[in-house]
Structure 1
Amino acid sequence: MSDSGDTTAQQRVLPVPAMGLVVLVGVSGSGKSTFAARHFLPTQVVSSDAYRGVVSDDENDQSATGDAFDLVHRIVGKRLRRGLLTVVDATNVQREDRGQLVRLAKEHDVPASAIVLDASDGLVRERTRLRTDRDIEPDALARQQHDLSRGRAQLDKEGFRRVHVLDADEAGTAVVELEPSPHDRRELSGPFDIIGDVHGCRAELEDLLTDLGYRIERDDAGEPTGARHPDGRTALFVGDVVDRGPDSPGAARLVMNMVDSGDAMCVLGNHEHKLLRALNGRNVRLQRGVEQTLQQLESRTAEFRERLREFCDGLVDHYVLDGGDLVVAHAGLKEAYHGRSSGRVRSFALFGDTTGETDEQGLPVRLPWAREYQGKAMVVYGHVPTPRPEWVNNTICLDTGCVFGGELTALRYPERELRRVPAHRTWYEPTRPLHEESTGT
């Protein structure tokens, strides 16, 4: 997948998504096909020249270009739908052509990267003169160079996650490095203790961790600073560690320390998302618990608030675990989104499948995605408080409304065993009773 030659101080390392789209950009003769053959598998490369030959028996037949790109876009879409790394080998010097490819990546919820081969005019013309497989008119080459020069400075505004620009020397020595998705932790098999929405209920979290067999570490003041399971189990929090409850900073401190020590993992909840915006100085509506968390944080140091901000900022919206058999997301995730990265995937993971409408309480109206779920992965989530966890098509919601006077629940994986501890009291009045189908958190 990359050069095997000696590494030098000038060697460029090019990170590209292991599941995503790579768009090669450069004029004819800049070395795109050579670069693609050196760094990627033949099956990963979709070449416009090759498909021009498929539809016309002649890779030089420019009249077949439209039909060739119809096939290119269709094949790219099929590969991205299957989650396969896909590399497009074409000039791609025009913004419109790149835009169609970026839209395909967005449509399939994968990131797109661009690799620009910026060979000098003299080198390109010399290579073109020596080619025996292609006859490129000087005017056509000049148009390509003009289009590339005009659009190169705007590439990072076209929707690419990364843009790498290489001169001829760098292109010959660069190393392509495949980056796994931050969501993809299939190598981790647990065992896990997946814990529902804590919402600042630090004492109840201590109770649950103790019930699960974790040994809680404390500072001189008796405050919990960490927790470790003697059998090496990993706690996995479904998000919404903060807001509404009596001690969001204490709950966050415990979770952050467990994550830092490798004893826990955590996905982003909608309340961490909102708190992050507030800590970043954004204008947020001070309601539904964030106002309490901000008040509680006033007694904490600036260093702690910054640590919490960085922690929230570093959380991913879902994890794919145990060889793909387990998915954890705050509000759940339908199968087509597992392991993928886009705004709509993030929105689904944080808020669920919403219609965009609100009910009479001003809460989002949700669609019952779990009733239609048929995926092989177990999906564990929280977000919508329910009186008790119930399995629905290999999915389960662990938010049992601890902050509303209910319980704090954990699912032991792979045992599928539920553990619950009662709330010490009702810390926050719910918008609607837990026995009703809740639509808002």
Structure 2
Amino acid sequence: MKIQIPEQSLVLLIGPSGSGRSTLARKHFPPTDVLSAAADAEATLHAEVAGRLARGLLTVLDDVPFSAESRKRWAALAREHHVPLVAVVLDLPEALILERHRLRSGPVASPRGLRNQVQQLQHALRSLPKEGFKHLHVLTPETVDAVSFERQPVPGHLPHEHGPFDIIGDIHGCLEELTALLTKLGYTVAPRADGTPGFDVGAPVGRRAVFLGDLVDRGPGVTGVLRLVMGMVEAGTALCVPGNHELKLLKKLRGREMRVSAGLAVTLAQLEREPPEFQQAVADFIEGRPFQYVLDGGRLVVAHAGLKAEMHGRDSTEARDFALYGETTGEADAYGLPVRADWAARYQGPATVVYGHTPVPEAEWIHDTACVDTGCVFGGKLTAVRYPEREFVSVPAARVYWESRKPLHAAP
């Protein structure tokens, strides 16, 4: 039995006295990664765990109290540092635990106290899924001795990839413009030589494209864009993060009941003309994309809607939602659209952040961040930024493919 543990996570070992928590910790984790929740004053332990999580270190807590209030405090700390919360529960029969204590030398818990712990554990097992544990693993007598743990890298954490990169904003099915932009950037794009659907794309020596999501919806060439981008990712000449439009498409392709917007209807109509295996490949492709990439030794971060500094390289629900949807104020503008919070104006992080999602008339650098969604599908431009050169490269839209509720040049 192999359990994958995110390498940046807070792991709680939960089980009654005598269940083998400490033995499990010694066997599978370096002693430097294991802290005892019972051995330290709570304030001191909280500060030590917070410091480790801030540095992105896997932290394992042994002897966690059974109270939901205690678990709530650790869940809040994990959320604060944008790391997954993991529970490893040792669910052993009461008779086995009592027998282990009977054979122990030295002070031991009373049988009544042990029975209370077993009952508390059963109550905890029912409530843990509602307490923010992204990963819950229950070990039984049959699995506890056979288990092994494997550290799982953070998705999209590729600091060893140094580029150079060509980072391309929201395409929305504008295949003609994408082909023109890639050509302007020095790539070669041609139909596949073997006659199968798709493209043969040649990249300039050493360079790699990075697509910022929202490949689909609204435009006329969605399936062509998907084939081109998917082919480049498969060939290793591109990286791609998903946008919020891909997530909606994924839900639909996976059979979820949902309202189909007009933009999504355009995509679905084009996909209906494709074989089922292509639709399946599209769904698998979207599902396999990380929501952010950390590149060039941490000096570059890309995400569809941007990402605050404290979320860089972190795998949390909040970081994922920010990367996909950005941040809003809760208000609506004169066009009935959500008012976007200007996180870039307050950004002071060490990494350059390149993103899209919210169309702007011109790409520009703001506090070492750049939005390169210049509204191609609305008649604007398709824009890329060269990294590390920090040079913007654009091609104009051939026409207006989709009428926006808000004019592209309207004030934010």
Cα deviations by residue, 1:265-308 (Å, 9 ceiling, x for unpaired): 11111111222233334444443622222222222222222222
Distance 1:237 1:133 in 2: 62
Structural mapping, 1:401-440, within 5 Å: 401-438=375-412
Cα deviations by residue, 1:225-256 (Å, 9 ceiling, x for unpaired): 24231414221101111111111111111111
Kept after mapping to 2: 8 A contact 1:193/1:234 = yes
Q: What SS does structure 1 have at the residue aligned with 2:170?
A: coil
Kept after mapping to 2: 8 A contact 1:94/1:148 = no
Say which is worse superposed, 411-420 or 93-102, in terms of deviation: 93-102
Aligned to 1:6: none
Structure 1 gap ranges (5+): 1-11, 52-67
Distance 1:101 1:243 in 2: 41
Distance 1:428 1:20 in 2: 43
Matched, 1:37 2:13: no
Which amino acid in structure 2 is aligned with residue 249 of structure 1?
Answer: T
Shift of 1:145: 1.5
Kept after mapping to 1: 8 A contact 2:383/2:394 = yes
Please point out which of 30, 49, 74 is paired with 2:38. 49
Shift of 1:123: 4.6
Distance 2:181 2:135 in 1: 43
Say which is worse superposed, 96-105 or 190-199, in terms of deviation: 96-105
Aligned to 1:147: 120
Kept after mapping to 1: 8 A contact 2:190/2:200 = yes
Distance 1:384 1:131, change over 3 A: same
C-alpha RMSD over aligned residues = 2.4
Aligned to 2:88: 115
Which amino acid in structure 1 is aligned with residue 384 of structure 2?
Answer: A
Distance 1:309 1:130 in 2: 55
Kept after mapping to 2: 8 A contact 1:266/1:315 = yes
Aligned to 1:62: none
Distance 1:410 1:423 in 2: 14
Matched, 1:347 2:321: yes
Distance 2:219 2:411 in 1: 22
Distance 1:160 1:174, change over 3 A: same
Distance 1:370 1:73, change over 3 A: same
Say which is worse superposed, 124-133 or 188-197, in terms of deviation: 124-133
Say which is worse superposed, 234-243 or 132-141, in terms of deviation: 132-141
Aligned to 2:53: 80
- The number of residues matched between the two structures is 411
Shift of 1:356: 2.1
* TM-score computed with the length of structure 1 as normaliser: 0.85
Structure 2 gap ranges (5+): none
Q: What SS does structure 2 have at the residue aligned with 1:103?
A: helix
Q: What SS does structure 2 have at the residue aligned with 1:290?
A: helix
Shift of 1:205: 0.7
Distance 1:299 1:364 in 2: 34
Shift of 1:387: 2.0
Say which is worse superposed, 92-101 or 260-269, in terms of deviation: 92-101
Say which is worse superposed, 15-24 or 427-436, in terms of deviation: 427-436
Distance 2:116 2:240 in 1: 51
Kept after mapping to 2: 8 A contact 1:183/1:340 = no
Question: Structure 1 vs Structure 2: percent identity of aligned residues?
Answer: 50
Structural mapping, 1:257-268, within 5 Å: 257-268=231-242
Shift of 1:152: 3.2
Which amino acid in structure 2 is aligned with residue 331 of structure 1?
Answer: A
Matched, 1:216 2:189: yes
Distance 1:384 1:418, change over 3 A: same
Distance 1:151 1:420 in 2: 56
Q: What SS does structure 2 have at the residue aligned with 1:328?
A: strand
Kept after mapping to 2: 8 A contact 1:386/1:437 = no
Which amino acid in structure 1 is aligned with residue 252 of structure 2?
Answer: A
Aligned to 2:158: 185
Matched, 1:98 2:71: yes
Cα deviations by residue, 1:318-346 (Å, 9 ceiling, x for unpaired): 11112111100111111011122233222
Which amino acid in structure 1 is aligned with residue 58 of structure 2?
Answer: L
Structural mapping, 1:264-413, within 5 Å: 264-287=238-261, 289-413=263-387
